[in-house]
Structure formats: C-alpha cells, structure tokens
Structure 1
Amino acid sequence: MNAPPNIDHVTAHADGDVLHWLTNDTRDERFLDNIFAELCLRLQRAGVPVKRATLHLMIVHPQWLGSRIMWADGMREAELRRVDYDVRERSDYIDSPANELHDGAAEVREDLERAPALSRKHVFYDRMRAKGLTDYVAWPLYHTLGKRHIVTFATDQPGGFDDAHIAGLLRLLPVLALVSEIRMKNRLARTLLETYVGSHASELVLAGATRRGSGTTVRAAIMICDLRDFTRISDNWPRDEVIDLLNGYFDAMSEPIARHGGEILKFIGDGLLAIFPLSNPSACANLLHAVAEARQAMIALNEKNGETGREPLNYGIGIHVGDVMYGNIGSQTRLDFTVIGPAVNMASRLETLTKQLGRTVLLSRAFADFVNSDFDLERVGEYPVRGFSDPIELFAYHG
C-alpha cells in the first residue's frame, strides 16, 4: 500500500505552479492590481487559505504618497486606493504593521485567535478579528536600491497559516518584488511624463516620439496666461508664501483647463501655455468655459488670500487660434515637447496687450469667429501687434 503524499511536498508543488505563472505568464498584463488579484485566486486554488491580502506601494507622485491594492475572498478584481502624504501623522498608522515594517521590521505576524489580553492593542487587529480572520502576516517587499514596500496576507482558517503556507508565500516574494517593480517603474515613467509634459504629449513620447526635430502640425486654440506684478510680489513675500501663492494660482487656472479638454504644455515662471486641439469641434467653446471657471476660482482664491492679509492676484490671458508645430525641440541632450509658431507668438502678444488695454482676457478675431454667436464678446478695436504687419481686431471676454 502506497504511503499518503507528504502535505509539505504537495503544497510546494502547488506553490511552484503559482510561482511559474508569476514568473512566466504575467508579462502581457500591464496592471499590477490585476496581477495581484489573480495571484490570490491562484494561491487559493493551490491550497493556501488566503482570505485577504494587500500590497502597499510607495510611489512618486505630486499628490499621493502611495497606493494600496487590496483583495479579499470573493473579489475577482482588487481594490486600488490612493494614500495621502499625511497618512503617517494619523493615529491609525501609529503602531500599525506598516509603521513597524517601515521602521525596519523583517516580519510582522499576529495570531488573531489569541485571547484579547494576550494580543497587541491596535484598532487594525480589532478590525481583522471582526472580519473573522485568524492569522495575519506582513513582510517588506524589496525593490532596487533598498526601496521597501509591503505585502500582507491573512486567513480565516482555524489555527491560521501553517508552516508550509508561510514557506510557500515567502518563496513568492522575490518574484512578486520583480513583477511589481517593473509595473511601478512603467507607471512612474507615465506619471512623471504626464506631470511634466501633459497627458497628450506623454502618450506621444511613450509611443516613441523622442527624436529631436520630430513633430506634427496641429490646429489648435492657444491660451497664454500670466500673473501681474509677480516680480514685486516675489521680492516682498517670503519664499514659501510665494510658492504657496503660485500653487494656488496654478490650481485655479489648471483644473478648469484639464476639465474642459485642454492640455497645459508649459509653466513659464508665473505663466502657463495651454492648447485645445481643434480635432474636438467644441475646443474653442471649451476654452472659454475653462476661462470662465478659472475666473471664478481666482475670485475665490483672492477672497481666501485676503483673509490672511495677502493682496489679490491679477492676471492676463491672451487667446488665439491657428496652426502650431507640436514636437521635440532643444539640444542633443535636453528636449522640450512643446508648440511653436506664429499662432503661439500671437497669443503671447495678446496677453501682453491685456496690460496696455486694461483687460483681463483678449481674443483675436480669428478665435472670435469660432464662438462669436455663442458667447458675449466685447469688440475692443484694432491694434498693432508687435511682429505682425497688420493691426489685429481684438475682443474682450468677461466670462
């Protein structure tokens, strides 16, 4: 009579199937949350009683410290949540497993079946017990150059994970680290490009449009905005307050632009350059809707600044429409993905004229022809524009 198979051997074989999948069969999956959910499902099928699992990642992003991927039994897809920068100041983070691991612990494990008097007092473990979980383990997930992230597993099996389960999970960690780092680096490259050159330009760069001089002609509405008297403000206000003022101003201007389909190509000191490609038939109208919303946001910002003794911020906006060259310009080692051309120069000249004419927003006749019947535009007159031979008919928009 044959002896029964050794359970450790069977578990190791099943874990090996999961490891083989993770190593060889995930290369075509772009999103880490999908890989993590599938990993947990495969672990269950392999006999590892995972009931809940999380992956905590530190990311490089202007708004978030990191992200958390959470999977629980019954979920086909994992839940992805962003983590704010202030998380480490919150009471529920203090003495949490994440805090212990970030402080250097090599493992955090909690027997959730122990009597409360013998257990660590932390709201996190109380929540795990309330879900019927019996065992919880968390490990650091090491990326290149010592970067530490976190992976956790929990079970509701009586007695918790056995030694074979823990050994199998530990065997997966080095490969999970590699798989997650690749996806994080890909996401990081996309995030940084979107942050610094905009969503459309980032797609072009990622698609291979990196050769100097490469580009395309785009017909677009162009918007250039600039703060008034910023040199005086920056000379008289503390540095940190100047940065805070600028960030508030750029938020007020930028969020409506993005919301209405515009793309900010460049922040230039206290100014910005944005385009609304005419491939969208509503581009010009969308631009003016964005300007109207930005105006209201600036009114609210100035009211808020006034409560703390800051003087109001004034600005000028020049708007034109035309063909622009959209592509890579710069030196052999430093490129800028931007737009150039006479239409951009015209928008810049109109922004400068807002100071001379005492108007906040000036539009060219070429732009006004796209929207004149839909918006209340005020004809200002014809004025010479530096660099252009004929006077330009100008309109003001009051939003």
Structure 2
Amino acid sequence: MNAPDTYAPTQADGVIDWLTNGTRDERFIDDIFAQMCIRLQQAGIPLKRSTLHVMIHHPQWLGARMMWSDGKREAEITLADYDVRERSEYIGSSANEIHDGADEVREKLEQDSSLGRKHALYDDMRSLGMTDYVAWPLLHTLGKRHVVTFATDRPGGFEDVHIAGLKKLLPVLALVSEIRIKNRLARTLLETYVGSHAGELILAGATRRGTGTTVRAAIMICDLRDFTKISDNWPRDDVIDLLNDYFDAMSEPIARHGGEILKFIGDGLLAIFPLHQPNACANLLHAVAEARGAMAALNDRNSATGRAPLNYGIGVHVGDVMYGNIGSAQRLDFTVIGPAVNMASRLEALTKTLGRNVLLSRDFAELVEKEFALEHVGRHEVRGFNAPIELYAYPARAISG
C-alpha cells in the first residue's frame, strides 16, 4: 500500500485554508475548534464527535478537554486535575497511549468489542452509536504532545479519504492551537504570580521599569505569628502544608470580595482593595471576617491532630499608593509602594503589642464606622511616623450594621 500523498487535495483543504487565514481575530481555541468541526462536516467528512485534550499546567488543573458533538455550536470544556493520570478514566485510554508515544490510535467500533481495546471510552463510543474512532498527537514545539480525536457514526467508519483529510489538517491545527494555548498559559502564569489586574497591565505592555500609576486603595497586610518557631521545629512538608492552608484561609475571602493579592512575603501577604471599586473598604472587612472564620476552622482541624493554633496579625490603612514596576534592569516586581503601605505594615506589627489581631487606622475607620462596630483603642506611636496615630480594632464579634 502506497503512503498517502501529503500534498494531494483533500476534503479538508478549505478548512485548512480557513485555519491558516481566517482565525487571526479568534482569541479562544475552543471557539476555533468548534468552528473547525462544523466546517469539516460541511466539507463532507462525516464527523460526529471530536475532542481536543491540552495540557495547561494551571495551579489546580493539569489539562483541559474540549469536546464538540454533532449539532453543537460550541465546545464543552472539562478540566482535569493533577491526579487524573492515576485514575481508570485515563489509564489505558487513547490519551494515555498518545502521551506514551503512540503516533495513532484507531479503533473500529463496529467489530466485536472482545477483539478491540479494553477501555470504558470505547464502550461509551459504541453506546453512542459510533462506528470508528481515531486519535492523533498534536505536536507542539519542544516535544509537547497534546491529543485530538475524531469519531463517526457512518456505517463502515471513516473512509481513507476522510482520514487523509483529517491527517493533513493536523500540522495547521497544531500551530493555531499552540499560539492560543501559550497565550492562555501566559495569562494563567501572570494571574497566578502577580494577580489578575496586574497581569492584564503587564500583558498590555506595562513592563518598563519605573512606570506605574497612583491608585487610592485600602491596603491589607497580614502576617503569621511565631512562624520562625514553627519552621524550626516542624518537618519541611508539614510547614509547607501549614502555609498553604493558612494562605487558602486568608486569600480566598480576599479574592471573593474583590481584593487583589499582590504578593506573598514568607508567611505574610499584601493585598489591596482599589477604592474605585464600590464598597471597597467594607468588602475588605467582610473578607477579614470570613478569613477569621476560615482560620478558626483550620485551627479546629489542626487541634484534632495535636497542633497548636495559628495566630496572625492584620494591619489595614487607606491612602494613595504607587502601583507599578520596581526592581533591577532585568528583574521587575509589579507591586505597590508608598507611605500608606508602610503604615499598614506598622499597624500589623502593632497587633502583637496591643493584643489585637486586626488594627485599622483612623483614616480607614472613618470610611466604614457607620456600617461596622469598631473598637477605639486610643492613640499610639507608630514607628516611622512623627505623631501618634489613632487606632481602631475590628473585634472578633464585630458585625456590620
């Protein structure tokens, strides 16, 4: 049997031309993938179902599956966690074979199931009336392998001409998908390491040292108590687990209420709530209240395993901050600086002295005192500031009005 001519005309040629020249303004690969499948059908390839499996390396998700089915205008996206490779849904699947190096997985589903591959995937395909199924690697640069699959319910399965057209499509789909996946990966990495808002600014070109804007914001700085003692006495993996649990308890309420975490500093974090957002200061205190509840639940779980409770301090201030790029010529940090940030840091340090786990400046308290029951704790010297500062505490039982 002669090898197929890579350059021979196929039913997919019009779709290949569209992928090459007609998708420049399409941002999302799932939209392109769904349109590609519809166009393949229109070109005469009897496609009934198709999937695209890509590795995304998100902090929570290893990969994503985009599935298009006949009659659909959009692809359905399913995320896969990092444990998926240990589960039966993956072990022995076509994706497993492709990732292990196979160049093609073809399964004629009309034949006796006892003669073919043994996996729930193929039983599912048969139950859906599929007669033929094929999977190929989608090869990206530097050896990265993703997976694309096609299935039909045509009696007799795909013809050779259909397979030739689909194969001819693969290199162009690989190029088009790699661009979109890497764009999404860049966004994911920036969102993960600098936050969503800062990430958008960086992608928009805010990468020059010294550039930035002045933002009026509520600033929150949180620090874990006695971390040095913990890190010196606990096993390394336990310390990492503890920090992750602590940051989950603090961070999730911040994100839920519209705050942006700019950085984790050892066992501390810096977050801002820009005042151009509605109810920013109130949202900060709602986040603090939820974080307290999460920390209490975490301490209950820790006490059940004999661990001491975790204590923390939070300093809150409001003011103008410079929000932008700071650092060396080759290594930048997108962060906030200014006296308002220094004040929040000093208030966090004072929580140890004053025995309160949340201290608020008067400037911040004046913006929320009608809504929240705050406790006045007097005027106190704050390191680095000339005059004593009037401070308020956010009591553990404080409730909004």
Q: TM-score, normalised by structure 2?
A: 0.96
Mapped pair 1:394 → 2:391 = yes
Runs of at least 5 residues in structure 2 that lack an aligned partner in the other structure: none
Describe the superposition over 1:240-265 as per-residue Cα deviations: whole angstroms up to 9, x where unpaired.
11000000000000000000000000
> Which of residues 307, 310, 315 is equivalent to 1:310?
307
Partner of 1:33: 30
Among the aligned pairs, what percent are the same residue? Answer: 76
In 2, distance between residues paired with 1:199 and 1:91?
35
Partner of 1:67: 64
In 2, distance between residues paired with 1:293 and 1:53?
43
In 1, distance between residues paired with 2:100 and 2:280?
51
In 1, distance between residues paired with 2:117 and 2:324?
58
In 2, distance between residues paired with 1:334 and 1:127?
51
Partner of 1:76: 73
> Which of residues 185, 189, 207 is equivalent to 1:210?
207
Partner of 1:49: 46
Partner of 2:171: 174
Partner of 1:243: 240
In 2, distance between residues paired with 1:266 and 1:395?
25
Secondary structure of 2:371's counterpart equals coil
Runs of at least 5 residues in structure 1 that lack an aligned partner in the other structure: 1-7
CA contact (8 A) 1:51 1:72 kept: yes
Secondary structure of 1:289's counterpart equals helix
Mapped pair 1:224 → 2:221 = yes
Map 1:186-335 onto structure 2 (within 5 A).
186-335=183-332
Partner of 1:367: 364
Counterpart of 1:195, as a letter, is T
> Which of residues 157, 165, 180 is equivalent to 1:160?
157
CA contact (8 A) 1:12 1:164 kept: no
CA contact (8 A) 2:215 2:321 kept: yes
In 2, distance between residues paired with 1:194 and 1:281?
22
TM-aligned CA deviation for residue 92 of structure 1: 2.1
CA contact (8 A) 2:218 2:317 kept: yes
In 1, distance between residues paired with 2:322 and 2:134?
55
Partner of 2:346: 349
Q: TM-score, normalised by structure 1?
A: 0.96
In 2, distance between residues paired with 1:181 and 1:175?
10
Secondary structure of 2:9's counterpart equals helix
In 2, distance between residues paired with 1:373 and 1:120?
68
> Which of residues 115, 122, 126 is equivalent to 1:125?
122
Counterpart of 2:147, as a letter, is I
Secondary structure of 1:12's counterpart equals coil
In 1, distance between residues paired with 2:198 and 2:206?
9
Tell which deviates more after alignment, 315-324 or 12-21. Answer: 12-21
In 2, distance between residues paired with 1:166 and 1:158?
15
Query: What is the number of equivalent residue pairs in this alignment?
Result: 390
Counterpart of 1:382, as a letter, is R
Counterpart of 2:25, as a letter, is D
Counterpart of 2:167, as a letter, is L
In 1, distance between residues paired with 2:93 and 2:303?
41
TM-aligned CA deviation for residue 122 of structure 1: 1.7
In 1, distance between residues paired with 2:220 and 2:28?
35
Mapped pair 1:111 → 2:95 = no
Partner of 1:338: 335
Mapped pair 1:381 → 2:381 = no
Counterpart of 2:239, as a letter, is V
Secondary structure of 1:232's counterpart equals helix
CA contact (8 A) 1:220 1:322 kept: yes
Describe the superposition over 1:91-114 as per-residue Cα deviations: whole angstroms up to 9, x where unpaired.
222211111111111111111101
In 2, distance between residues paired with 1:128 and 1:117?
15
CA-based RMSD of the aligned residues comes to: 1.1
CA contact (8 A) 2:223 2:312 kept: yes
Stretches (4+) displaced over 4 A? none
Secondary structure of 2:83's counterpart equals helix
TM-aligned CA deviation for residue 60 of structure 1: 2.0
Secondary structure of 1:23's counterpart equals helix
Counterpart of 2:343, as a letter, is M
Describe the superposition over 1:75-132 as per-residue Cα deviations: whole angstroms up to 9, x where unpaired.
1011111111000111222211111111111111111101223222221111111111
Partner of 1:5: none
Secondary structure of 2:207's counterpart equals coil
CA contact (8 A) 1:132 1:156 kept: yes
CA contact (8 A) 1:385 1:392 kept: yes
In 2, distance between residues paired with 1:205 and 1:122?
45
TM-aligned CA deviation for residue 13 of structure 1: 4.7
